[in-house]
Structure 1
Amino acid sequence: MTSPVAETRELLEALGVPASRFSGGNRIVRTPLTGEIIGRVQDDTPESTTAAIGKAHAAFEAWRKVPGPQRGELVRLLGEELRAAKTELGRLVSLEVGKIVSEGLGEVQEMIDICDFATGLSRQLYGLTIATERGDHRMMEQWHPAGVVGVISAFNFPVAVWSWNAALAFVCGDSVVWKPSEKTPLTALAVEAIFDKAAKRFGGVPDGLMTVVLGAREVGAALVDDARVPVVSATGSTAMGRIVGERVARRFGKSILELGGNNASIVTPSADLDLALRAIAFAAMGTAGQRCTSLRRLIVHESVYDALVGKLRQVYATIKVGNPVATDALVGPLIDGQAYEGMQKALDEAKKAGGTVHGGARVAEAGPAEAYYVRPALVEMPEQKGPVVHETFAPILYVLKYGDFDEALALQNGVPQGLSSSIFATDMREVERFVSGQGSDCGIANVNMGPSGAEIGGAFGGEKETGGGRESGSDAWKAYMRRQTSAINYGRTLPLAQGVKFDVEADAPSHGDGAMEADA
């Protein structure tokens, strides 16, 4: 078997990334599969980031003049290049993040899908014609390109989240400056090289339309604080979002925040338990619990609790944990030691709060000392308190029991986060209530499936401490544009709105004859 170090280098070279971009830099990149160093990249500085923003602003001024459908052609070509590179880029995602092979490939497919969506969108950037109370007038609403879009992405979806933002931004007439997670810079460099291939085929793409800047907090701060970046899309922790949201708002910019998700599923007495079991297993353990939409709380009716949770304990005890690239393991490693320490701290707190913990131990035989493989943890809690109300980015599933549906909804909504949620039920009264305004308070509410696995056609995002932002499908494109309302007078008089009168004598010949009505 090829070592992760050698394979990563081969993949980067095959994807067109110059060796100088992933070797010899000041930042070490490790694979969570083995802990080995697979790259060394050079961080940007605040000064180089500011210079990149300047180039991006100049690129925006040129790109906004290109008609929308032509901008869509660039994104179509990007989708073609991603299709051609799917195997290699998907494999690189697995090596850099530790995802199972199908998830790595699935992430690239998500990029391809959003390119398809955005290509069609490029001919549908619709405004409105609005009824006006003034005669011989037309009022309309238009959407114009916003400017430079700053994208700050997290390690767990190192390329897909960029594409949700960038594909829309490009067709909307914007340029993009992307700061990936400092834990996953290699996949970003690969995407940059793929974009360059599409841009070369398109021809005439302004320099700086898509730029990757690498680094930690100070690089992100330079992007967040620059007034030439009217839109900042940031994915990460709630703590990070508070900082980003405040700093962008201070300069009256617009932020799209995708933050914490403490997602729950309710299992009702009418649920199909076999279906629920399969859905819960993937939602809670997939990506080693490192999805923002991972299932973290399971709220089970007392009448089906023993039957469902008993089977879940068996699944948790037997699921294969290991290197998902070298074996058929379904649960790969945590991203690093910090994530492992956070998981163990949460489990200790759960025990102190009266929880019964099944699993959660490190699996030493799955990898070397530098890799962090853990058995997923199922934690039966007497009540929703302690670590249950916080998000821990690890495979921990807290299980709670309920008796009344009102109690289940109160538990579901009784946390600060509001990203995703789901219910397993065949009683349509409970289903309809769950998805109504009286039900889940999350941005996503699924029925008879887990809270993860969102499709690009729907707007993605959540409420409360999740940040309130929306990315990807539906009308999320509007966040990357600025709205303009225009009124056109095609008559010879000047009627006021709301019937206001403002008559002025026009004595001077140059003013013409008669009285004038002017809008107050």
Structure 2
Amino acid sequence: MGLTRSIFGFASNGCSTARILSSSSSSSTLFNRFTRLSPPAHRCLPTPCRSPSFFIRQINMQAQSIAARLSSSGILQTKGLIGGNWTDAHDGKTFEVSNPATGEVIANIPCMGGKETNDAITSAYDAFNSWKKLTAADRSKRLRKWYDLIMAHKEELGQLITLEQGKPLKEAIGEVSYGAGFIEFAAEEAKRVYGDIIPSPLPDRRLFVLKQPVGVVGAITPWNFPLAMITRKVGPALACGCTVVIKPSELTPLTALAAAQLSLEAGIPPGVVNVVMGNASGIGEALLNSPKVRKITFTGSTAVGKKLMAGSAETVKKVSLELGGNAPCIVFDDADLEVALKGTLATKFRNSGQTCVCANRILVQEGIYSKFADSFLKAVQDMKVGEGFGEGVVQGPLINEAAVQKVETLIQDAVSKGAKVVLGGKRHSLGMTFYEPTVITDVKNEMRISTEEVFGPVAPLLKFKTEEEAIHMANDTNAGLAAYIFTTNVQRSWRVSEALEYGIVGVNEGLVSTEVQLLFSLLFVLVASKIV
């Protein structure tokens, strides 16, 4: 997405452009990543009676009240976690975490770096020796308790996500349930990390393989899903017997700290889960350089992912990367218009378009283009924009000013090359980083808005004639994360799914990354109803 501030900072725009696909198809692969084999309130038009300044004052009061409640409940933590101890930076430095809806500072957090990260690595390494020796059943019980605690605090965690990330509260609470699902799944699968018996070419021998934890895992996570991106990495790692050092985004560290607090309450021993944040390059270099860290798992920009992959080679670490997307959403003439409209809106505007699997390009066949565009425009026009705690709000602010500026740049480039803004296309009257939901027509596949990940509430509409043309347009990118198809022709659904060069293909479905049981980077087709 291009928000990378330094080599490891703001990694977490969720994405740029890259193709990271896995050939694995078994749910056990989720755990193989962490094991080694031994041996081998407000519509688009402003409400006239309230000014943005009044709106922000109201938010400030509400946000302060929520932050106070979270602090008194113990959910809001403002220090790093190393070896089970809440810790300041060694030099006392801090950085601010702000509410993107208002710019108001929520908390001052320790600005940690290489020293604190090395301390966390040592704690994780020491804890690994005992954690890996626990039975799978014991680890499973503790993970299950962690899941239960996350769900028991679902409302508070949702409020915290909205406070520091900005997404609507309903979405934030949904993320908590989604994120907790990774812990629940890992708790169950911890008991099923089986070995293998392999036939030997020699008559008097038997070969067997034991799966053992790799060791300390460095987990670098993004800001767009500040809980779920942690649990999907940490849950499987802990289930296998690994320990972790988490580096959350500097933009949303509070959710990570809250999750870590609940892990301690669940009986996960000190040192098994550690959290450091602050100096991104210092933290990243420490994770890469330490021979005690045996695996790096990262979600974020392609630029940072490349550096992590290269840096991991020095100590031969295992690496898992979830990088950028440029998802096409293809609507064929034979699509059920209502299903296509609902699915496209969901995949484009969830989290204000700040997801790496959201539709970046909406390709509509010419026979249905005008009808779809009219219905889509009306639906987007009715979207309520506002701060995440507002009733009925479906679009919150963008994460920061850099995100807004990128959206503006891409729209300006498209307009200069012949595209037309038919809705939105400018900052919202609410101010701050609110941006109007935007629809652009006459978009060409070679425009930057088609080739780069937008990461904002902007829907470019492109027209195509034939199935072959749609496939060519969809595959004309360096990204390969997710794609979407809307059609009522079952033969076409299979044919196009196989032709698309993407890791995830949703058929008549706009939400494809919510299936905990299906690994995110695998090639699968999510088939919904309306196929005839």
Matches within 5 A, 1:427-506: 427-436=489-498, 439-450=499-510, 452-461=512-521
Deviations along 1:371-410, one digit per CA (max 9) or x if unpaired, are: 2111122222442012111112111222111111111111
- From 400, 407, 412, give the equivalent of 2:474: 412
Report if the CA contact (8 A) 2:78-2:257 is conserved: no
What is the deviation of 1:350? 0.9
What is the deviation of 1:3? 2.6
- From 311, 314, 317, give the equivalent of 1:247: 311
Tell me, what secondary structure is at the counterpart of 2:141? Answer: helix
Q: Determine whether 1:314 maps to 2:362.
A: no
What is the deviation of 1:152? 0.5
CA pair 289-19 structure 1, distance change in 2 beyond 3 A: closer
Report if the CA contact (8 A) 1:295-1:451 is conserved: no
Which position in structure 1 is the counterpart of 2:276?
Answer: 213
Which position in structure 2 is the counterpart of 1:129?
Answer: 197
**For residues 324 and 179 of structure 2, what CA distance do their matches in structure 1 show?**
22
Which position in structure 1 is the counterpart of 2:464?
Answer: 402
Matches within 5 A, 1:80-99: 80-99=148-167
Which position in structure 2 is the counterpart of 1:290?
Answer: 354
Which position in structure 2 is the counterpart of 1:156?
Answer: 224
Tell me, what secondary structure is at the counterpart of 1:300? Answer: strand
Which position in structure 2 is the counterpart of 1:71?
Answer: 139
- From 204, 209, 213, give the equivalent of 1:145: 213
Tell me, what secondary structure is at the counterpart of 1:459? Answer: coil
Tell me, what secondary structure is at the counterpart of 2:178? Answer: helix
Which position in structure 2 is the counterpart of 1:8?
Answer: 67
- Superposition RMSD in Å: 2.0
Report if the CA contact (8 A) 1:445-1:451 is conserved: no
**For residues 20 and 97 of structure 1, what CA distance do their matches in structure 2 show?**
19
Report if the CA contact (8 A) 2:346-2:511 is conserved: no
Structure 1 stretches lacking a partner, 5+ long: 464-469, 471-520
What is the deviation of 1:364? 4.2
**For residues 213 and 192 of structure 1, what CA distance do their matches in structure 2 show?**
11
Q: Determine whether 1:281 maps to 2:345.
A: yes
Report if the CA contact (8 A) 1:296-1:397 is conserved: yes
Structure 2 stretches lacking a partner, 5+ long: 1-57, 81-85, 525-532
**For residues 471 and 195 of structure 2, what CA distance do their matches in structure 1 show?**
38
Deviations along 1:171-227, one digit per CA (max 9) or x if unpaired, are: 10000100000001111111111111112xx6xx2x311000011232122223322
What is the deviation of 1:18? 5.1
Tell me, what secondary structure is at the counterpart of 1:3? Answer: helix
What is the deviation of 1:82? 0.7
Q: Determine whether 1:52 maps to 2:123.
A: no
One-letter amino acid of the counterpart of residue 13, structure 1: S
TM-score of the pair, normalised by structure 2: 0.82
Report if the CA contact (8 A) 1:15-1:194 is conserved: no
Report if the CA contact (8 A) 1:153-1:161 is conserved: yes
Higher relative contact order (CA 8 A, sep 6+): 2
Tell me, what secondary structure is at the counterpart of 2:126? Answer: helix
Larger CA deviation: 348-357 vs 208-217: 348-357
One-letter amino acid of the counterpart of residue 387, structure 2: N
- From 386, 389, 392, give the equivalent of 2:451: 389
What is the deviation of 1:266? 0.9
One-letter amino acid of the counterpart of residue 214, structure 1: M
**For residues 258 and 102 of structure 2, what CA distance do their matches in structure 1 show?**
21
What is the deviation of 1:49? 0.6
Which position in structure 2 is the counterpart of 1:259?
Answer: 323
Deviations along 1:298-342, one digit per CA (max 9) or x if unpaired, are: 111111111101211222223221113123221110011110001
Which position in structure 2 is the counterpart of 1:373?
Answer: 434
CA pair 264-20 structure 1, distance change in 2 beyond 3 A: closer
Report if the CA contact (8 A) 1:420-1:462 is conserved: no
Matched-pair identity in %: 30
Report if the CA contact (8 A) 2:76-2:254 is conserved: no
**For residues 358 and 248 of structure 1, what CA distance do their matches in structure 2 show?**
46
Larger CA deviation: 173-182 vs 388-397: 388-397
Which position in structure 2 is the counterpart of 1:339?
Answer: 403
Report if the CA contact (8 A) 2:443-2:460 is conserved: no
What is the deviation of 1:142? 2.1
TM-score of the pair, normalised by structure 1: 0.84
Report if the CA contact (8 A) 1:357-1:377 is conserved: yes
**For residues 437 and 196 of structure 2, what CA distance do their matches in structure 1 show?**
51
What is the deviation of 1:48? 1.3
Report if the CA contact (8 A) 2:79-2:110 is conserved: no
Aligned residues: 454
Tell me, what secondary structure is at the counterpart of 2:515? Answer: coil
- From 174, 177, 180, give the equivalent of 1:109: 177
Tell me, what secondary structure is at the counterpart of 1:256? Answer: strand
Larger CA deviation: 454-463 vs 256-265: 454-463
Report if the CA contact (8 A) 1:99-1:332 is conserved: yes
Tell me, what secondary structure is at the counterpart of 1:137? Answer: coil
Larger CA deviation: 185-194 vs 15-24: 15-24
**For residues 134 and 442 of structure 2, what CA distance do their matches in structure 1 show?**
57
Report if the CA contact (8 A) 1:49-1:223 is conserved: yes
